[in-house]
Amino acid sequence: MIIRNVRVLGGEPVDIRVADGTITEIGTGLQGAEEIVDGRGAIALPGLVDLHTHLREPGREDAETVLTGTQSAARGGYTAVHAMANTSPVADTAGVVEQVYRLGQEGGYCDVQPVGAVTVGLEGRQLAELGAMADSAARVRVFSDDGHCVDDAVLMRRALEYVKAFDGVVAQHAQEPRLTSGAQMNEGVISGRLGLAGWPAVAEEAIIARDCLLAAHVGSRLHICHVSTAGSVEILRWAKSKGWNVTAEVTPHHLLLTDALVEESPNGSYNPIYKVNPPLRTRADVEALRAALADGTIDVVATDHAPHPVEDKETEWAAAAMGMIGLETALSVVQESMVDTGLLDWAGVAERMSLKPAEIGRLSGHGNPLEVGAPANITLYDPGARTEVDPRAFASKSRNTPYEGMTLPGRIVATFLRGKPTVLEGKLV
């Protein structure tokens, strides 16, 4: 197969020859192929890799399944996703992670790398079978109680020590539970005006500071999920300046949206579509997160794709579930917040949405630069398109997007997983 007329990382137009799932030639005027895909000048990126996806299966197949979630991922340009462990049953044993891994392989739309729970049942009392999950067919390397914080410092220390044996990483959902008991939105001027219980920045920052110190103390790898505050950025900058092995992610929604939307938005006020954990923060936080992603203090963009059925979101604010879907809009939101603002070029986007997430997850076969010999995991993207977001067009089973009706830049043209198209002309194959 030849993929004709694409611009690798936004460079000059070239053709890419693919054979047996591998890139075998990159050049101009390539000839002699059974199948030609016309790239029409689209930007070619290495297949995107998400470190933080909720696929909901097993247990909440009414919100998403591994199949619909990976179809959603493919439509967003992803070739691999890390599936979070807060399923039912929880992915805290070799059996459950292998089940999720196999479901991903059967679907064939996107590789699924299960994340293992840190503690049994995400209950924060006893370490899960980390070694058994690492040794399983799913080869788990990322461990997280995401949705819950591992707030017990002794357990967190033990987990950090344990994963060193297999080069694993603990991904922390940084939320001091007592400081956020009953929290509904970012603590600040707007939560005060609206009378909603606040989720203070310090509840995130205190856990990040503690865990950076713990990771340094035991010499282990730590990853911080969905960083959302300017103060967290300062702590990460300090930890990295010490040479500690700490990485961090930011979500697309925290790069674009603010807590002002809870008070006033095109969708009214108190609309639970904006309810998410960690909460949307202030404009100053958004600016700090963008700068940190640009300068490398925050390493990667991760979606925290969190599907919920309509009945769990379209209810009063206090009762609504927290979370937003994000796989099919991630690259557009990153273009809007980082590329069109001049903060990142396409090489920078590839680094933060493919190369580094694969490296942090120790995921082989993904996150390789588009070069001869690399697996043909390729995303074609047209940054000149403008699309009004219509959730009914999503492959995800859920519709809880905060971008409905917004016009966002860019469009995924095609996605190739080891040379096999999963998306062509923007549609699932």
Q: What residues have CB less than 8 Å from 360, skipping those under 6 apart?
A: 51, 142, 169, 223, 247, 299, 300
| Nearer to Zn ion among residue 82 and residue 173 (C-beta) | 173
Q: Is 418 one of the annotated binding-site residues?
A: no
DSSP 375: B
Taking CA atoms, 120 is separated from 117, 129, 146, 237, 388, in Å, by 7, 8, 13, 32, 42
Amino acid at 202: V
| Nearer to Zn ion among residue 142 and residue 370 (C-beta) | 142
* Paired residues of 17 in beta bridges: 2, 25
Q: Is 217 one of the annotated binding-site residues?
A: no
Q: Reduced to 3 states, what is the DSSP secondary structure of residue 82?
A: strand
Closest CB 342 distance from Zn ion, rounded Å: 30
- Measured CA angle at 254 (ends 295, 48), to 5 deg: 70
Strands (E) in 201-281, as ranges, are 222-224, 246-250
Nearest to 168 by CA among 211, 116, 224: 116
Q: Is 308 a residue that touches Zn ion (CB under 5 A)?
A: no
| Nearer to Zn ion among residue 3 and residue 225 (C-beta) | 225
| Nearer to Zn ion among residue 207 and residue 212 (C-beta) | 207
Considering only residues 195-234, where is the footprint of Zn ion by CB under 5 A?
225
Closest CB 172 distance from Zn ion, rounded Å: 9
Helix axes 230-241, 201-218, angle to 10 degrees: 10
Closest CB 149 distance from Zn ion, rounded Å: 9
Q: Is 167 one of the annotated binding-site residues?
A: no
Note if 20 is an active site residue: no
Specify the stretch interacting with Zn ion by CB under 5 A; choose among 94-102, 166-174, 374-382, 392-400: 166-174
| Nearer to Zn ion among residue 143 and residue 416 (C-beta) | 143
Query: Distance (Å, rounded) from C-alpha 27 to C-alpha 24?
Result: 10
Q: What residues have CB less than 8 Å from 391, skipping those under 6 apart?
A: 399, 401, 404
Closest CB 331 distance from Zn ion, rounded Å: 21
Number of residue whose CB is nearest Zn ion: 173
Write the interaction track for Zn ion spanning residues 115-154; mark x where CB under 5 A is met and - where it is not: -------------------------------x--------
Amino acid at 122: L
User: Annotated catalytic residue: which of 92, 151, 259, 304?
Assistant: 304
Tally of helices (H runs) and strands (E runs) in the chain: 14, 18
Q: Is 245 one of the annotated binding-site residues?
A: no
Residue whose structure tokens are 């917004």: 406
Using CB under 5 A, pick the residue from 173, 308, 352, 418 that binds Zn ion: 173
Closest CB 225 distance from Zn ion, rounded Å: 5
| Nearer to Zn ion among residue 146 and residue 259 (C-beta) | 146
**Do residues 13 and 390 touch, judged by C-beta distance below 8 A?**
no
Counting residues that bind Zn ion (by CB under 5 A) gives: 3
Q: Is 54 one of the annotated binding-site residues?
A: yes
Q: Is 400 one of the annotated binding-site residues?
A: no
Q: Is 226 one of the annotated binding-site residues?
A: yes
Annotated binding site: 52, 54-56, 86, 146, 173, 226, 277, 304, 308
Interface residues toward Zn ion, by CB under 5 A: 146, 173, 225
Q: Which residues are catalytic?
A: 304
Annotated binding site for substrate: 54-56, 86, 277, 308
